[in-house]
Amino acid sequence: MNSRTPSFDDLDRKITTALMANARTSFAEIGAAIGLSATAVKRRVDRLRETGVITGFTATVRPSALGWRTEAYVEVYCEGAAPPRRLAEVVRNHPEITAAMTVTGGADALLHVRARDVEHFEEVLERIRTEPFIRKTISVMVLSHLLPDSPEAGATQAAPE
């Protein structure tokens, strides 16, 4: 589930890069760029989806346009041992949590939170704090972004072996 997909060649890499840049690029156009027919490109894309390299196609949205103007990272400290399974349940209770992961360092988990404004963020934070085994939280508010909104969930290029 975590290993490098076998037989992922240079053409697959170029196709993937093209679709990350614009998911609506036609197979014919991609094919023209890399010297393949639209059919061949389609078949490769199908295979990339089957093997889980490409997990989906989404529209990227400017969060502020939807009313999400406040963003923060929240370090979470738990009472005693924090089983990741229980943590995952807790996390799913709060739709404002857009990413959550276990991490090294003092904290048990790191959450990415979006809220409408600071008032809303405070409310979310209090809600999280009342969860059973959460002992402490440390929040870091995001002030401004130094890169254009990158697809945080994925690197923009394929890494060489």
Interacting residues with a copy of itself between 109 and 128 (CB under 8 A)? 109-110, 112, 114, 116
Closest CA to 98 of 30, 153, 16: 153
Which of 120, 61, 66 is closest to 96 using CA atoms?
120
From candidates 36, 41, 78, 100, binder to a copy of itself by CB under 8 A: 100
Round to whole Å and give the CA distance between 158 and 123: 40
Which candidate, 51, 43, 56, places its Cα nearest to that of 4? 51
Residue 66 near a copy of itself by CB under 8 A = yes
Partner that binds at residue 100, options a copy of itself, DNA, none, CB closer than 5 to 8 Å by kind: a copy of itself
According to the binding rule CB under 7 A, does residue 54 interact with DNA? no
Q: Does 142 bind a copy of itself (CB under 8 A)?
A: yes
> Is residue 14 close enough to count as binding a copy of itself by CB under 8 A?
no
Q: 8-37: which residues touch DNA (CB under 7 A)?
A: 11, 26-29, 31, 35-37
**Angle at 8 (CA atoms; ends 45, 58), nearest 5 degrees:** 40
In angstroms, the CA 133 to CA 64 distance is: 32
121 binds DNA (CB under 7 A): no
Closest approach, Cβ 35 to DNA, in A, equals: 6
Instruction: Please count the residues of this chain forming the interface with DNA, following the rule CB under 7 A.
Output: 16
> How far is the C-alpha of 110 from the C-alpha of 128, rounded, in Å?
12
Interacting residues with DNA (CB under 7 A)? 7, 11, 26-29, 31, 35-40, 42-44
